[in-house]
Amino acid sequence: MSKAFTNESEVGEDFSEEILAPPAGTKNYITPEGLQRLREEFAQLQKVERPKIVDTVSWAAANGDRSENGDYIYGKQRLRDIDRRLRFLRKRMEIAEVIDPARQTDHGHVYFGATVVYRNSRNQEKTVRIVGIDEARSDHGEVSWISPVAKALLRAEVGDVVEIKTPQGPDPIEVLDIRY
């Protein structure tokens, strides 16, 4: 069959989600809490959401004509989305290297897992926690250890002024506090 007659959403649907790889030669660091969140999401999808969708698709398939059956079509798409996310989470958990910030002995410098309070060039105080790629949530003040802010802060100590590389140019920030 010609590609011209296929549903565009079905073309290439078997390709798994692209994995954001850590920089070459580095590990996929994650905190224990971040790994736990990945495990909980995996379990929720596998044990709760997927079985519900399978039941819905089975019920919808039993109703006859599948070509115009919204429950069936949506359910099949949702199953593909869930399966893709499960594969992604499984791969990320397999390559994760857990780093526990509580075991950090040098509390005078910024390392992975630190919560840092800094002042930017606009005299605004901000607080960020440096975490793994898979667990960064900007709405919770968590930034990936490979982000420009984290890269600038790593190994700094209280009182240091470091520069964040931005598209507009370097932006100096001052480290005010470090907590683990």
Q: Which of 98, 118, 145 is the last residue of a domain?
A: 98
pLDDT band at 16 (very low <50, low <70, confident <90, very high): very low
- Is the pTM higher than 0.85? The answer reads no
- On whether residue 17 sits in a domain, the answer given is no
Sign of the CA dihedral 29, 32, 33, 36? positive
Specify if 13 maps to a domain: no
Choosing from 49, 69, 98, the residue where a domain stops is 98
Cα 83 from Cα 46, distance rounded (Å): 9
pLDDT by residue (tens digit) across 31-62? 999 999 999 999 999 999 999 999 999 999 88
At 1 the pLDDT is 42
Decide if pLDDT at 10 tops 60.
no
The answer to whether position 6 is within a domain reads no
Tokens of 98: 């857990």
Predicted local distance difference test score (pLDDT) of residue 12 = 43
CATH number of the domain to which 74 belongs? 1.10.287.180
Range of the structural domain that residue 148 is part of:
101-179
Pair 130, 161 in one domain: yes
- Count Cβ neighbours within 10 Å for each residue of 109-133 and write b for 16 or more, e otherwise: bbbbbbbbebeeeeeeeeebbbbbb
Neighbouring CB atoms inside 10 A of 175's CB total 20
Residue 7 lies in a domain: no
> What's the CATH number where 129 sits?
3.10.50.30
Final residue belonging to a domain, choices 49, 80, 98: 98
Please report the pLDDT score of residue 22 as a whole number: 62
Pairing relationship of beta strands 125-131 and 115-119 according to DSSP bridges: antiparallel
**53 in a domain, yes or no?**
yes
Q: What is the DSSP string of 47-66?
A: IIIHHHHHHHHHHHHHTS--
